[in-house]
Every structure is written in structure tokens, then in C-alpha cells.
């Protein structure tokens, strides 16, 4: 002998409708968050890089004004597979607050003035680039060059770091990951709240 209990939920249709509405709001929030990350994450990354390195945020962030030090592409369609991929050449010290910006004018009589080329690759740490470094022209810009040996030639352009090296460095990457996690959490919370209205 057995017994059967029949359970029924009051207003089942309404409960089902509410659950579907919550699911739709969640999907909408995730879609909006992905869009937010695509547009805002490059700015968050550039802020973190600029706290460590002596480069302007606008040179790292593709939305910024001025000359770009690198490029970024955002790949992926969902929060768990989004990737920010940085590329770019190795930069000269001109991107790191180099002084002087141009070779000083010669003294009366044509003798060159002595000067020391300095740059702050790390924020707040301006240092001399060395006694063999001098400013030469490359188009309209003054680029630092260095003598390779003791004689006048050969010379080579002085290089520092690329944007991918700065973003991926041990000094920046933990801060970038922390910032992205915080910002993504905030964005998904706000988007979910708005989608539920």
C-alpha cells in the first residue's frame, strides 16, 4: 500500500514568469558588462601602467589624445574569455619625460654646450642615460643615440621598454588584475541592478 502527495505551487505561472525575467536580466547584464569591459578596460590598464612607469596614460590608451606608444585589441565575446592584447615597438626615452627635449644651442664660437640626457622610465625616478648618450635628429624629433664604442661611429638609438613589456611586468600585472576584477564586479552589479528595474 502506498500514498501519494501532490504538491502544487500557488501562482506557478507567475513564479515561472519571474524566473524567466531574472534569467533575461542576468543575460542582459552580462552583455552590457562585456561591452563596458571592451570600452573601459584599456583606460583602467593605462592608469595602472602610469602609476609605475613615467609614461602618459594617453600614450597607452588608444582612446587618449596624442602619439600612441602601442596598440590594443580586445578579443572574446564573454566575460570569461575576454582578452586585452597589447602590441607595440620598443620605445625611446622621449616617451618617459626625457630632458632636454632638443639639443641645446651651441655656445658663441660654435662650441657645443655640455648636457646630460635624462629620463624617468619609472615614475619619479629620473636618471641620466649615460655619458655616451647624445641627442640627434630624426625628422622633426630629437632622438637619443649612443656611441657603441670609443670612436665617433657606430651609433645606435637608445631604447627602453614597449607597452606590452610594461603591461606584463611583475610591477604592473598584479595591479592590473586586481583593478580589472574590482571594476568588472562593480559593472556587473550595476548592470544587473539596472536590468532588474
Which tens digit of pLDDT belongs to each residue from 57-109? 888 876 655 556 778 888 888 777 888 888 888 999 999 999 998 888 877 88
Range of the structural domain that residue 151 is part of: 93-157
**Same domain flag for 83 and 168:** yes
Considering the domain boundaries, does residue 6 fall inside one? no
**Same domain flag for 45 and 113:** no
Considering the domain boundaries, does residue 4 fall inside one? no
**Same domain flag for 101 and 145:** yes
Number of domains in the chain: 2
**Same domain flag for 38 and 79:** yes
pLDDT of residue 165: 94
* Angle 43-59-92 from CA coordinates, rounded to 5°: 145
Query: Roughly how many angstroms between the first and final C-alpha of the chain, as a whole number?
Result: 51
**Same domain flag for 75 and 124:** no
**pLDDT category, 158, cuts 50, 70, 90?**
very high
Considering the domain boundaries, does residue 2 fall inside one? no
**Same domain flag for 134 and 66:** no
- Summarize pLDDT for 119-155 with one digit per residue, the tens: 999 999 999 998 889 998 766 678 899 988 888 888 8
**Same domain flag for 79 and 174:** yes
Percentage of residues in the chain with pLDDT exceeding 90?
36
**Same domain flag for 152 and 66:** no
Q: Which three cell numbers stand for residue 149?
A: 664604442
Considering the domain boundaries, does residue 7 fall inside one? no
- Summarize pLDDT for 34-59 with one digit per residue, the tens: 888 888 888 999 999 999 999 998 88
**Same domain flag for 169 and 137:** no
DSSP for the chain, please give it. ---------TTHHHHHHHHHHHHHHHHHHHHHHHHHHHHHHHHHHHHHHHHHBSS-HHHHSTTSSS--S-EEEEE-SSGGG-EEEEE-PPPPGGGTT-BSSSPPPPPTTSPPPP---EE-SBTT--EE--TTEEEEEETTEEEEEEESSSSS--EEE-----HHHHHTSTTTHHHHHHHHHHHHHHHHHHHHHHHH-
Quote the CA–CA distance of 121 and 129 in Å, as a whole number: 10
**Same domain flag for 19 and 84:** yes
**Same domain flag for 128 and 190:** no
Least confident of 24-33, 58-67, 98-107, 175-184: 58-67
pLDDT of residue 82: 82
For CA atoms 86, 89, 90, 93, give the dihedral sign.
negative
**Residue 178 pLDDT exceeds 90:** yes
**Residue 160 pLDDT exceeds 60:** yes
Amino acid at each position: 500500500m502506498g500514498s501519494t502527495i501532490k504538491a502544487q505551487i500557488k501562482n506557478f505561472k507567475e513564479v515561472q514568469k519571474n524566473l524567466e525575467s531574472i534569467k533575461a536580466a542576468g543575460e542582459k547584464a552580462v552583455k552590457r558588462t562585456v561591452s563596458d569591459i571592451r570600452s573601459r578596460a584599456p583606460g583602467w590598464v593605462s592608469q595602472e601602467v602610469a602609476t609605475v612607469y613615467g609614461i602618459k596614460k594617453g600614450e597607452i590608451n588608444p582612446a587618449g589624445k596624442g602619439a600612441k606608444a602601442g596598440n590594443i585589441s580586445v578579443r572574446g565575446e564573454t566575460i570569461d574569455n575576454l582578452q586585452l592584447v597589447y602590441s607595440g615597438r620598443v620605445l625611446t626615452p622621449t616617451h618617459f619625460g626625457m630632458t632636454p627635449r632638443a639639443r641645446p644651442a651651441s655656445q658663441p664660437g660654435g662650441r657645443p654646450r655640455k648636457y646630460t640626457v635624462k629620463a624617468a622610465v619609472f615614475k619619479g625616478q629620473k636618471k641620466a642615460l649615460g655619458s655616451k648618450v647624445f641627442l640627434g635628429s630624426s625628422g622633426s624629433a630629437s632622438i637619443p643615440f649612443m656611441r657603441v664604442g670609443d670612436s665617433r661611429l657606430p651609433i645606435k638609438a637608445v631604447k627602453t621598454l614597449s607597452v606590452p613589456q610594461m603591461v606584463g611586468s611583475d610591477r604592473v600585472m598584479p595591479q592590473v588584475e586586481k583593478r580589472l576584477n574590482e571594476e568588472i564586479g562593480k559593472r556587473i552589479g550595476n548592470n544587473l541592478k539596472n536590468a532588474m528595474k
